[in-house]
Amino acid sequence: MLEELTRAIEARGLSVGDRLPPEIEIARGLGISRTKVREALTSWQNMGIVIRNKKAGTRLAAEVVSNAIHLPLTLKIEAESMLRTHAVRRPLEIEVAGLAAVNATEHDRRIIMARVRELMASHTAGEDWRQADRRFHGALQHACGNPLFGQLIQQIQQGFNEVYEAPFGRPHIGETSIPKHLPMAEAIVQGNAEAARRLMAEILDLVTEEVRKVMVTINV
């Protein structure tokens, strides 16, 4: 839905300050209900992309960038933005790994091992392991004892996912890092904070490396 809206806006060449058609016309134009249009617009409103006023209608407050996968330029921009997000997350995730090694309860440890096993299984089965990955990292964030880390990371990632996830949604990104998850989980369960931090850093850097490769592939 957000994607269709994005495409429609790009096709019209709308930019910051411009007004969108009334909700009901958008709905008719896309052949969906006003409910869905409103949901998408509310999401954009929360992200600060549009401003809504009663009689005045809805206006763009930020530039809308499509995640159309076929455009090399767009893909490159998205790769850069992903690297940036990653750079912000990196120190947080590392801290989470270290804290989890120290603070995890017995219950946390069981969940962490269960999640990492799910991740490995999902990966070896050739499925889309992204959700399993998210759950695994979620377990770490919960185990670290400070809910603020988890909230911060999730909000940074979440805001981006909605706009930027599509092109990198294909399962092969981050694949090299998967095998490192098991040793890291074990380090956390054993309470080895130093090893946990080091392995988390290695995992994140492998992902970064793979995104960079995609960029090169695209740019050449």
Partner DNA sequence: AACAATTATTTTGTCAGACATTAATGCGAC
Partner DNA sequence: GTCGCATTAATGTCTGACAAAATAATTGTT
| Min dist. Cβ of residue 30 to DNA (A) | 9
- Is 148 or 216 the residue whose CB approaches its own copies more closely? 148
Beta-bridge partner residues of 59: 19, 51
When CB distances are held under 5 to 8 angstroms depending on the partner's kind, the choice from its own copies, DNA, none that residue 43 binds is its own copies
The distance of Cα 83 from the centroid of its chain, to the nearest Å, equals 12
Q: Which position among 52, 90, 134, 198 is part of the footprint of DNA (CB under 7 A)?
A: 52
| Min dist. Cβ of residue 131 to its own copies (A) | 11
| Min dist. Cβ of residue 25 to DNA (A) | 8
- By CB under 8 A, name the binding residues for its own copies: 16, 39, 42-43, 46-48, 61-63, 65, 77, 80-81, 84-85, 88, 138, 142, 147-148, 150-152, 154-160, 162-163
Q: Which stretch binds DNA (CB under 7 A): 6-14, 35-43, 160-168, 212-220?
A: 35-43
What's the Cα-to-Cα distance from 36 to each of 23, 46, 68, 176, rounded to whole Å? Answer: 10, 15, 21, 38
Dihedral angle computed from the Cα positions of residues 155, 89, 110 and 192, in that order, rounded to the nearest 10 degrees = -150
- H or E element: which one contains 50? strand 50-53
What angle is formed at CA 133 by the lines to CA 39 and CA 97, rounded to 5 degrees? 115
